[in-house]
Amino acid sequence: MVEADTMGLLIGQDTPEALMPLEVRRAEPGSSAPYATRTRFGWTLNGPLSRQQGKRRVTNSFVQSDVKLERQIERFWRLDTVADAVDVETQMSVNDRKALSIWRDSIRHCDNGHYEVAIPFKRYPPDLVDNIEVAKLCLRALKARLTRDTDLRAMYNESMQDLFENDYAEKVPQEEISSTPVWYLPHHAVVNPSKPGKVRVIFDCSAKHCGKLFECC
């Protein structure tokens, strides 16, 4: 007989879904240790605990889960998901905010339907020196490579033409070259073996000259 104040919930055999084992943890074969069964309501311990004069005392106990611990773990994983828990806007660096400010102040809609923004230099006016000699050295090396590989030359020429046709590049007037700070971007070809017949034109923005580089925010 069980006292009423110790009973939490009485489940009859007419509700097999509640008693159906979802997982069973067994002891070593031949031992008299109990076994654990997990149901929808948690874990239970079943089986003999001891032997007295050839008789077994059978018991059944419910193992209550630590709800507080589960909540702490759930909170830990929620905080660990940075993309959901952190506002990206508040994590911007000083340079990030400066670049966004320059873009907001300089953005304009061009006649060709495109938008134009200023280059976010760290210092303005930019402290640049004429690096045409470095660009010429890279160009001579590129020319030698394209001369040896006619297929690569054809693809590279097509890629460069696309830059002009799509208004990604334009010819700079001579008077602007002589009146403003100048910095040339060397470029070269990169071929992906998994994408035959295609070439990427890479502009080397990290190229240095006299210890300086094209430095943006």
Q: Is residue 198 left, alpha or beta, with left meaning phi > 0 and alpha meaning psi from -120 to 50?
A: beta
Q: Is residue 210 left, alpha or beta, with left meaning phi > 0 and alpha meaning psi from -120 to 50?
A: left
* pLDDT tens by residue, the chain, 217 residues: 444 455 566 676 777 777 788 888 887 777 777 788 888 877 887 776 655 555 555 555 555 555 566 677 677 666 655 555 455 556 788 888 888 999 999 999 888 788 888 888 887 777 777 788 888 888 999 999 999 999 999 999 999 999 999 888 888 888 887 777 788 888 988 888 888 888 888 888 777 777 666 555 4
Contact call for residues 113 and 107 (beta carbons, < 8 A):
no
Within 10 Å of residue 11's Cβ, how many Cβ atoms? Answer: 12
Q: Amino acid identity, residue 99?
A: A
Confidence (pTM): 0.47
Domain boundaries, the chain: 9-65, 122-213
